[in-house]
Amino acid sequence: MPLPCPMTARPTLARAATWFALATLAAAQQPAPETAADPSASAPTRELLRTLAARPRVAGTRESLHAVEFVARELERAGWRVERERFDVVLSLPRRIAFAIHAAGAGEPLVQRVETWDPDAERPGDIPKFAGWTASGKVRARAVDVGRGLRADYERLAASGVDVRGKIALATFGGAYRGIKVDMAAEHGCAGVLLYSPSDEDGADRGPVWPAGPWKPGHDAQRGSISPMGRAPGDPSTPGWPSTAGCARVPAGEYAMPKLLCLPIGWDDAHAILERIADVEVELEIDAPPALRPIYNVVGTLAARGSAALVVAGSHRDSWVRGAHDSGGGCAALLRAAQILGARAKQGWDQHGELRVCFWDAEEQGLVGSTEHVEAHRADYAARLVAYVNSDANVSGTRFGASGTPGMMRVLRETCASIDSVATPGRSLWDEYTQGGTKSPAFSLPGSGSDFAAFVHHAGLPMLELGFGGGSGGQYHTTFDDFELVDRFLDPGFAAHEKCAEATAALLARLAEQGRAAFDAGEACKELARHARLAGLEKSDGGASWLGEARAERLAAAFDALAAAPPDALLPAAFLRDAGIPGRAWFKNPLWAPGLETGYSSETFPTLRRAARDGEAALERELAALLDTATALQRSTAPPR
């Protein structure tokens, strides 16, 4: 028999510090928890984050190994079995970056900066502003303002007679994954790409800049990967299989990589170019050779007791610099959740299923650690994973939010109905999420950009994320996303981090206890029916519905029929295509996929969209294939238990 779960009892006001109630468990007869005498016990996540974010954690560097050992030690102390899971992966790290702005034809540069960096030094310092997977080389050319650098921007420029060929595209962040902007610039014949944020988006025009406030100073910029994540995330030399020692690899030069030099720059430099864009040339010289480096996922396991079910939670341990928000906070909350669950296990709690917490490496380079991990464990996860719970930069304020795949809303509701809100005292997190019942909850389908991608799009497994937002600032992937920023501006007092740990522990416990019954197939099928009908309303460029309302209705009806007698199967797993979706072999989920020209957000029914481009007959064939899968699932539906 499991011990009574303190997380299912609504804490009273007298127990407002609910993490304490959790840590002390079924308190009265139990020994005090280890942290009781610790002066930092008022917010254990604060101390975890302070240590974690004390140094940069760039994947593949020697310095990042300190965090590997810290996380491993904390998990071991909390009673988890720990594995340091090594993969040898190709990573792109900078050695030397030179940037200059020249007045056209003149001698001395107006602006010049050279930065060098040694990823193998024990103290390499902060990585320069850098785009992971940029091409290396040298280019000098005039710049052209391409707005956000999306297809519509290039169409607009072409329509007004602007020739972008041979020029360096100056594009703002936002609107799509940054890698798509580089692909788009290459497609339109540009010679390089500079990415920046205007100061009225996240800099001085929004408020006081760091260190006076949380907004971005003019010299700093967002680092980030431009890997072709929409084709295949992870190590580009091992698409679809794990990068273990001695494994087969696609040779360098044969896998798709960005073709252009790309550099993020601060608003000061962007402004200097924009002011006299017709009169200046930009010079870029980048040396960032891709090279094989070891990365380490830290994986903690709490053994199952009599159930084959497995629940996995993860947050990325690596960061571009100190990453206190992204994703130090996610790691601290997950570590704290592991401490809470470890303490319960030590006191005899039977969680039924196996619990696994993963602290991923190299997420920032292109979801590498989690992708290699899922590729290595895909068969086991297909057989027994209940759900993956993702945490990424998920604490930046006190306002509760959640996202996930269809079929996970019920377990979210059950979990959050019994946990107090931070932002609206007296309400539960569920009340807060549904605005007191006035808003009917629905997840949008998860695209990509975080470690859930391999679970959802490669293995077809359910996923949930929860977190606390509402804070703002310009710290994303900058040098000042550090402990002080979180402590002073994002979550002073760490109440949201503590609540995130409490809610994550409660969710993991519930998933492990329920096993695959936690997945609500009826809810998932209803959601997919809704998405089918929405797809039928979408217009293509010609103004007609690309799918056709009648076809959309046939697909929706098939999901409605499944919802009426829910299959004993996980979705999207039951629909997976082993050969992948057209043009994207790694992506195996035909129900939805990351948008090819958006990256982070998703589009529904990618195989139908692709077929629609080949005409009516192809579209009918693809619809029939989806309907066949639905019919087969209906036949296999077990009688109600």
- Least distance from Zn ion to the Cβ atom of residue 49, Å: 14
**Chosen residue from 88, 326, 420, 520 binding Zn ion by CB under 5 A:** 326
27-35, 222-230, 320-328, 378-386 -> range binding Zn ion (CB under 5 A): 320-328
Contact 101, 282 (CB under 8 A): yes
In this complex, which beta carbon is closest to Zn ion, that of residue 353 or of residue 369? 369
Cα separation of 66 and 68, whole Å? 5
Both tokens assigned to 268: 């000061």
Task: Give the number of other Cβ atoms within 10 Å of residue 161's Cβ.
Answer: 6
63-71, 193-201, 385-393, 546-554 -> range binding Zn ion (CB under 5 A): 385-393
256-264, 322-330, 433-441, 565-573 -> range binding Zn ion (CB under 5 A): 322-330
Return the SS3 of 207: coil
- Least distance from Zn ion to the Cβ atom of residue 361, Å: 12
Determine phi and psi for 220, rounding to 5 degrees.
Answer: -100, 165
- Least distance from Zn ion to the Cβ atom of residue 509, Å: 25
In this complex, which beta carbon is closest to Zn ion, that of residue 241 or of residue 600? 600
25-33, 387-395, 452-460, 522-530 -> range binding Zn ion (CB under 5 A): 387-395
The Cα-based distances of 425 to 17, 484, 565, 618 in angstroms read 12, 26, 40, 55
592 closest CA partner among 638, 633, 631, 626: 626
103-111, 318-326, 331-339, 427-435 -> range binding Zn ion (CB under 5 A): 318-326
Determine phi and psi for 569, rounding to 5 degrees.
Answer: -150, 160
Interface characters, 198-227, with Zn ion (x: CB under 5 A): ------------------------------
125-133, 149-157, 324-332, 613-621 -> range binding Zn ion (CB under 5 A): 324-332
Contact 402, 433 (CB under 8 A): yes
In this complex, which beta carbon is closest to Zn ion, that of residue 471 or of residue 536? 471
In this complex, which beta carbon is closest to Zn ion, that of residue 195 or of residue 563? 195
In this complex, which beta carbon is closest to Zn ion, that of residue 145 or of residue 318? 318
Q: Is 393 in the site for Zn ion (CB under 5 A)?
A: yes
- Least distance from Zn ion to the Cβ atom of residue 641, Å: 40
Both tokens assigned to 249: 């690899």
Q: Is 197 in the site for Zn ion (CB under 5 A)?
A: no
Number of residues that bind Zn ion (CB under 5 A): 4
Measured in whole angstroms, the distance separating CA 402 from the mean position of its chain's CA atoms is 13
Tell me how far apart the terminal alpha carbons of the chain are, to the nearest angstrom: 22
Cα separation of 333 and 338, whole Å? 9
**Chosen residue from 35, 134, 238, 327 binding Zn ion by CB under 5 A:** 327
In this complex, which beta carbon is closest to Zn ion, that of residue 269 or of residue 392? 392
Burial class (CB in 10 A: 0-12, 13-18, 19+), 617: exposed
- Least distance from Zn ion to the Cβ atom of residue 392, Å: 4
- Least distance from Zn ion to the Cβ atom of residue 331, Å: 10
Both tokens assigned to 634: 């209906």
- Least distance from Zn ion to the Cβ atom of residue 449, Å: 8
Return the SS3 of 364: coil
Amino acid at 586: W
Q: Is 392 in the site for Zn ion (CB under 5 A)?
A: yes
Helix (H) or strand (E) holding 401: strand 399-404
In this complex, which beta carbon is closest to Zn ion, that of residue 300 or of residue 449? 449
Cα separation of 169 and 510, whole Å? 50
Task: Give the number of other Cβ atoms within 10 Å of residue 280's Cβ.
Answer: 21
Measured in whole angstroms, the distance separating CA 637 from the mean position of its chain's CA atoms is 33
100-108, 384-392, 454-462, 571-579 -> range binding Zn ion (CB under 5 A): 384-392
- Least distance from Zn ion to the Cβ atom of residue 363, Å: 6
In this complex, which beta carbon is closest to Zn ion, that of residue 394 or of residue 514? 394
319-327, 493-501, 511-519, 577-585 -> range binding Zn ion (CB under 5 A): 319-327
Determine phi and psi for 322, rounding to 5 degrees.
Answer: -85, -15
In this complex, which beta carbon is closest to Zn ion, that of residue 266 or of residue 467? 467
In this complex, which beta carbon is closest to Zn ion, that of residue 223 or of residue 231? 223
In this complex, which beta carbon is closest to Zn ion, that of residue 186 or of residue 395? 395
- Least distance from Zn ion to the Cβ atom of residue 326, Å: 4
Helix (H) or strand (E) holding 145: strand 137-145
Contact 632, 625 (CB under 8 A): no
Contact 282, 260 (CB under 8 A): no
- Least distance from Zn ion to the Cβ atom of residue 317, Å: 10
In this complex, which beta carbon is closest to Zn ion, that of residue 61 or of residue 415? 61
Interface characters, 159-188, with Zn ion (x: CB under 5 A): ------------------------------
Contact 26, 4 (CB under 8 A): yes
Both tokens assigned to 47: 């101390």
326-334, 432-440, 566-574, 630-638 -> range binding Zn ion (CB under 5 A): 326-334
In this complex, which beta carbon is closest to Zn ion, that of residue 237 or of residue 327? 327
Gyration radius from the chain CA atoms: 25
Residues lying near Zn ion in the complex (CB under 5 A): 326-327, 392-393
